[in-house]
Amino acid sequence: MASETEMNLIGPPRLIPALSAGFNTVAGRIYLILLPVVLDVFLWLGPQFRIDKLFSPLLTDYANTIARFASAEIAAQINELTALWIESLKDYNLASTLQTFPIGLPSLMANRPSGLTPFGSPAVLEINSFSAAFVWWLLFLIAGFVLGCLFLNTLARSSGETPVKFEFKAFAIQIALCMVFILTLLASVILISLPASVIVSLLAMVNASLGSIALLALLFLMIWLFIPLIFTPHSIFLGQRSLLVSALTSVRLVRNHLTGSSLFLVAAILIAQGMDVLWKIPPNNSWLTLVGILGHAFIYTSLLTASFIYFRSGLRWLMDLIKQQSARMVQA
């Protein structure tokens, strides 16, 4: 019989060692930041795919139609909202769809308004038909998703003690699993949000405080349901070929080590968002923006690599925990 001391060989994953290992890994393999850097440079200096001239007349016609049947106060609010949307569309670059979520490349420039570059005004490609806009949107979406999968696949293979060679068949399976995962996640959010939003709206009509409480409860429900799935892509890119097993592994790790997993997630978000304040300081027409792009890519790549290292450590701890539980059952 193994003694209690012999069974407690592996501890739970730890925050600081995982973060340190992630930054050290990327510093030693700086090529890992290449894909995010290329994406941001393209969004910064490349052509701007504009759709404002296509959608602005549509939004204006919609606002005018609603204003005919609405009261003066509501009509004024709709006109203000329409003007805000039209102004936002002037700076919107359809190529920013290359940044996909939750699986995709991290990007500093995707959410920044387009403007002057160090070379002057960027080239602008006006999209003049809805079919062309849909095709470009779909192409950018697919390309961003595939590049995001390639990026995570590279980080997963590079985060282990021994780097693993790229296998196209395994990568194709990972793309398929991630696509099913995202579609399932999206369908789940819609199925929960639609009836929940109706309930929140009804409660808000009865009492504003009840509506706020219901909205807060909905937010906590979403967090409770979906945060435990955060390591599902990690399991997929580390070789698990079953989406259900990947999801259950993520849930089991988070549930068994909720405090540590929550701290890791919060620390990663704080580091990433805190550094983003610095990277966003230079204007688009300054070459210092390139420094921001490089720094952003390094930080996010390091944090994602750290998350793979944290998950690997968590898997070893989880397997050891299962063995300990089995041993206790045998002893009993």
Other Cβ atoms closer than 10 A to 187: 10
Other Cβ atoms closer than 10 A to 268: 22
Q: What is the predicted pLDDT for the residue at 279?
A: 94
Backbone angles phi, psi at 124, to 5 degrees: -120, 130
- The residues near 121 (Cβ < 8 Å, ≥ 6 apart) are none
Read off the tokens for 98: 């290359």
Backbone angles phi, psi at 51, to 5 degrees: -130, 10
Can you tell me the distance from the alpha carbon of 98 to that of 196, in angstroms, rounded to the nearest whole number?
31
Can you tell me the distance from the alpha carbon of 268 to that of 274, in angstroms, rounded to the nearest whole number?
10
Question: Average of pLDDT values for 134-142?
Answer: 95
Can you tell me the distance from the alpha carbon of 302 to that of 174, in angstroms, rounded to the nearest whole number?
21
Half-sphere exposure of 47 (CA within 13 A, CB side): 8
pLDDT per position as a tens digit, 151-188: 999 999 999 888 789 999 999 999 999 999 999 999 99
Q: Which pTM value belongs to this model?
A: 0.89
The residue length of the chain stands at 332
Nearest Cα to 231, choosing from 196, 257, 267, 199?
257
Read off the tokens for 166: 């790229």
- Distance (Å) of CA 235 to CA 59, 111, 240: 43, 29, 6
Burial class of residue 274, CB neighbours in 10 A (0-12, 13-18, 19+): exposed
- Structure-token match 């399932």, residue found: 184
Which residue ranges make up each domain of the chain?
4-48+95-331, 52-91
pLDDT per position as a tens digit, 108-120: 999 887 778 888 8
pLDDT per position as a tens digit, 76-132: 777 788 888 888 888 889 999 999 988 999 999 998 877 788 888 888 898 989 999
Q: Which helix (H) or strand (E) is 59 found in, with range?
A: helix 52-69
Does the structure show a pLDDT above 60 at 9? no
Q: What is the predicted pLDDT for the residue at 4?
A: 42
Separation of first and last alpha carbons in the chain: 12
Burial class of residue 203, CB neighbours in 10 A (0-12, 13-18, 19+): middle
- Structure-token match 């089991």, residue found: 252
Backbone angles phi, psi at 196, to 5 degrees: -65, -40
